[in-house]
Amino acid sequence: MTDMYLPKLREITEALRSLFSAPYTTKFPKVPYTAPKEYRGFPVYDEENCIGCGTCAQVCPTDAIEIIDDKENRRRTLRINYASCSQCGQCVEKCITEKGIKLSDKYSILVSDIKAPEVFEYVEKELAICEICGEVIACSDHLQWIKERLGAKAYANPNFLLESQKEFTEVAPSSPKDRIRREDLIKEVCPKCRHKIVVRDEF
């Protein structure tokens, strides 16, 4: 008969021990939850270290990162849609500067509208536009980053020379011409137009 009561006695003992001991669970939501350092939350841009190259958008498996180029205003916007983000960390792992985007400890967003501003993360960068065809070359910060990595070799490329010149003085836009000429080599132009200049080589 005593054996029948032993399991219940053990349960009562465990209940009393739990009642007078410290809690095993967190105090969330009364106390905000602090994620561990290794936690993969939503990614956020570091505006100072992001160069606008768009690598994060290219490697995102869920297409949560969008590149929006405004050629008229010479601005590129990189936009993360947290509603589509799987927090995989590919954007952080493949970032060419290794500091342009980081995973935060933010793990949930409470909104009533899926298009609310809190659902998106933005960063804006200045664009370098081809002076001949008007197509996008790269972001100015991207060109500056490449120039610094190349060192003295960067001066073989006119685009990098112009980026260096912009640090000291304003570069006036060139007037459009009826055809491509050799003098266009020292303009900010895309690779396709630079190839045309070299091939045609007109005075």
**Same-domain check for residues 115 and 92:** yes
**Same-domain check for residues 81 and 166:** no
- Domain end among 129, 150, 165: 129
What is the structure's pLDDT at 175?
66
In this structure, is residue 74 part of a structural domain?
yes
In this structure, is residue 61 part of a structural domain?
yes
Q: Tell me the pLDDT tens digit for each residue of 1-46.
A: 556 667 778 888 888 887 777 776 777 777 777 778 888 899 999 9
Q: What does the pLDDT average to over 157-166?
A: 83
Q: Tell me the pLDDT tens digit for each residue of 115-154.
A: 899 999 999 999 999 988 899 999 999 999 999 999 988 8
User: Is the pLDDT score of 169 beyond 80?
Assistant: no
Q: What is the 3-state secondary structure (H, E, C) of the chain?
A: CHHHHHHHHHHHHHHHHHHCCCCCCCCCCCCCCCCCCCCCCCEEECCCCCCCCCHHHHHCCCCCEEEEEECCCCEEEEEEECCCCCCCCHHHHHCCCCCCEEECCCCCCCCCCCCCHHHEEEEEEEEEECCCCCCEEEEHHHHHHHHHHHHHHHHHCHHHHHHHHHCCCCCCCCCCCCCCCHHHHHCCCCHHHHHHHHHHCCC
In this structure, is residue 14 part of a structural domain?
no
User: Which range of residues forms the domain containing residue 142?
Assistant: 137-203
In this structure, is residue 18 part of a structural domain?
no
**Same-domain check for residues 146 and 101:** no
**Same-domain check for residues 143 and 98:** no
